[in-house]
Amino acid sequence: MTDAAAPTERFSNRVGDYVRHRPGYPAGLVAWLHGTQGIDAGLQVADVGAGTGISTRMWHGAGHEVVAVEPNAAMREAGMAGFTGDPRVRWVAGSAEATTLADASVDVVSAAQAFHWFDPAPTRAEWTRVLRPGGLAVLLWNLRAVDRSPLMAEYEALQHAHGIDYARVAERHPDDDAIARWYGGGLRATASFPHVQRLDFDGLLGRLLSSSWAPQAGHPEYAPMVEALRALFDRHAVDGRVDFDYDARAFVGTLPDIPTTR
């Protein structure tokens, strides 16, 4: 991986760590989407930037038919392997800006842990095209809770110290105001749900290596990073594990037409 790695290719050599060590989404989030937001189980979902299928599994487990849209071949193949023979999940090679889906073909378009890699304007146009009338756009992130514990604060510092392009990638994440502007007045609700992974050292290392900015074996920063991570783990582990904290952030809304000016 280099600084110039395209967003659609940044995770090609991290698929195994992504499958094994990235978290799912908390049950409270699904309950909120179904209950408070009225996203009934019968609605069809396009999971865009589906990756290895973590969010696809969430929607599928909640009773939805899902079309998983993923441009990265390695991640898409890993995702497909988890749903072999399941008629309620279909995988397609497409992107947020060009999904390959038909006009007005889905009830919900969702992106989990991926929207910050998209080009916002063409993504909005494409999602508007594929949504049925009244359909919803859902944006989800598992965000590390960097202020929740000393371990999380030190992990954040470690990534700044050893990450290849961590600061540049972090800057891609839109703030709440930018997301609201993207919805164009259609943002209906936001929510946050805390949850945690309990990780041994191998799990913590795998979680780190699943990040696109983490140096891999052979890079000059790899050994110093692993040494720093080992020291961090030893400082905070209880009974051989640490708590790795997240907030699952959710945004739900429609995509009304945005007036153009001449």
**150-187 pLDDT tens trace:** 999 999 999 989 988 776 665 567 899 999 999 999 99
- Confirm whether 73 is domain-assigned: yes
Is 221 contained in some domain?
Answer: no
Give me the CATH number covering residue 128. Answer: 3.40.50.150
Quick check: is 161 in a domain?
no
Distance set, CA 199 to CA 26, 48, 112, 249 (Å): 17, 28, 22, 22
Q: Which helix (H) or strand (E) segment is 92 a member of?
A: strand 89-92
Whole-prediction pTM:
0.89
Structure tokens belonging to residue 224: 């110093």
Q: What is the largest CA-CA distance in the chain?
A: 64
Residue 261, in any domain of the structure: no
pLDDT at 24 over 90: yes
What does the pLDDT look like over 133-148, one tens digit per residue?
Answer: 999 999 999 999 999 9
Q: Is residue 117 part of a domain?
A: yes
Q: Which domain holds residue 95?
A: 12-144+171-196+246-253
pLDDT, mean of residues 71-80: 92
84: Cα within 13 Å, side-chain hemisphere: 4
Q: Is residue 190 part of a domain?
A: yes
DSSP string, 189-220: EEEEEEEEEEE-HHHHHHHHHTSTTS--TTST
**Structural domains counted in the chain:** 1
Q: Taking the chain, what is the end-to-end CA distance rounded to the nearest angstrom?
A: 43
